[in-house]
Structure 1
């Protein structure tokens, strides 16, 4: 059996004269027109690949938005190519700072309307992904933000720890999981990190905070101690993050995660269902990303994606 080739990319979009335009690239060697994407490098996560490839092909720094789907198609070699896509809003600042120059891989970049892009794109799988993006536009979903709900990394067991439960440290694997979160969670460009004050939670998000230049907001309202005593303040913590409308990280404990996800659903008027509870069933070091409308978060959860730990 041949091994599949994995890749990732995004439909990059921006408003031009009040109308949504998407970015297509004219490739030099193939003479075709495609959506920005590229192959996964060894050790990369798919979100990390998408952001890196967009930067390399277009010179644009982007943060990922809503997942758009997966394309699968055979290559001439007989191997299958599997490409994961997201939407990615491009700010005016990112455009102004673009480092793109025509090169041996990409001859030109072009911002076009969705309708024109359908006629430009050379491959049907790209058109299908563009159509998924167009459906979001039809639902008046453009600008979004994300809440990444993270379960802390693997910690020393209670039975082998003589101190307070809140002081239990991460194991060596947990430390590796914390380091592995940095590149992947950075793909959504979080603006805030909120954590249970427990050592295992704070340590999990410390590498990300250092990389992003963010302060960790320790909040006992999402601690396991507060949850076990019935004194948690999950609703307050989640409500504040939804009202803020900016991408954020919430790091807590396995038993608390279902309540966090439930409150995200309630705060956004989303019907409760298995997709919400499933997103809370995380192993240590894993996380779920909840995507919400920046203009009307009360319209409900747009999408949820779950990512396994990197170690």
Structure 2
């Protein structure tokens, strides 16, 4: 049985007054209107591919928002054999770019939902549009990402004689840290808050440095700080929820249950799979090197987790 062809894309959206608009792309090769999308490169994460393909096809840089329904359909390959294509989609906000078209696309059109529905050439593409519109109507489309990261694999404690906070990442950990850089970038975080332990700092420093994002070290997110003042970790998370800015928070397995216990009640109105993903992550304290993306609507006491993604090593 042939392996499905993985691809990813986005539905860039904006508000024109009170009207929701989305960006469609036109492919002259097929003379069709659809969403910006493309195949994954070998070893590439779906979310990374979605952001990359969008900038390649539209000239617009985006930050990924809530996931949207995937599409599955059959294609004929160059050898004449049929194969399944699986495309994962995200809602997306434009964050930059010059809009210059350079890759297989000759036009990008911003249309309201009704006009977009009529212009799309494939019925399967309307599933993502419908989900986007429903999110907008429910007030759960305009979100910001809170990305909780557990540090990547570090040198074992038994093999390290210096102070534990100085214990560095091992080879696997460094590879995972490198892979996290484009993954985190796809969601557009503007700040990193981390435990000062070397294994946490080194897990997220590559992203922060590559994208000019400020990184703040908080002792309350370390194992040692949490043991002395358990309430400080929750305090740091609460401050982030109050501010409502796209952020990465990196900490340790023993600290994460307290943080996830704050987030789980905020997801009570999310879909069952999202609640289940958050519950599973909490039960496992996240996997080392995992990025748990919580899409949050609102801030402070009105903050709600409306969608959840687990990105495992």
Q: With structure 2 as the length reference, what TM-score do the two structures score?
A: 0.90
Deviations along 1:43-89, one digit per CA (max 9) or x if unpaired, are: 32111111111111111111111111221111123111111110012
Aligned CA distance change for structure 1 residues 297 and 135 (closer, same or farther; 3 Å): farther
Deviation at 1:264, TM superposition (A): 2.6
Distance 2:103 2:290 in 1: 38
Partner of 2:70: 70
2:299 aligned with 1:290, yes or no? no
C-alpha deviation, 1:235, in angstroms: 1.7
Q: Distance in 2 between matches of 1:66 and 1:225?
A: 35
Instruction: Choose the corresponding residue for 1:301, options 296, 299, 305.
Output: 305
Structure 1: where are the runs of 5+ without partners?
Answer: none
TM-score (norm 1): 0.91
| Superposed CA offset, 1:86-110 (max 9, x none) | 001235xx3xx52324x67222111
The CA distance in 2 between the partners of 1:144 and 1:14, in whole Å, is: 13
CA shift digits 1:124-173 (9 cap, x unpaired): 22111111111101202232100110010101111222222222111111
For the Cα contact (< 8 Å) 2:238–2:300, is it kept in 1?
Answer: no
Cα distance in 2 for partners of 1:108, 1:185 equals 29
**Map of 1:86-101 to 2, 5 A cutoff?**
86-90=90-94, 94=96, 97-101=97-101
Residue 83 to residue 274, structure 1, CA distance change in 2 (3 Å): closer
- Aligned counterpart, 1:113: 112
Residues in 2 aligned to 1:288 and 1:185: alpha-carbon distance in whole angstroms:
10
Higher strand share: 2
Partners of 2:37 and 2:299 in 1: how far apart? Answer: 28
Partners of 1:70 and 1:6 in 2: CA distance: 11
Alignment correspondent of 1:210: 209
Separation in structure 1 between the aligned mates of residue 232 and residue 254 of structure 2, nearest angstrom: 14
SS of 1:211 mapped into structure 2:
helix
Q: How many residue pairs end up in the alignment?
A: 303
What's the counterpart of residue 124 of structure 1?
123
RMSD of the TM alignment (CA)?
A: 2.0
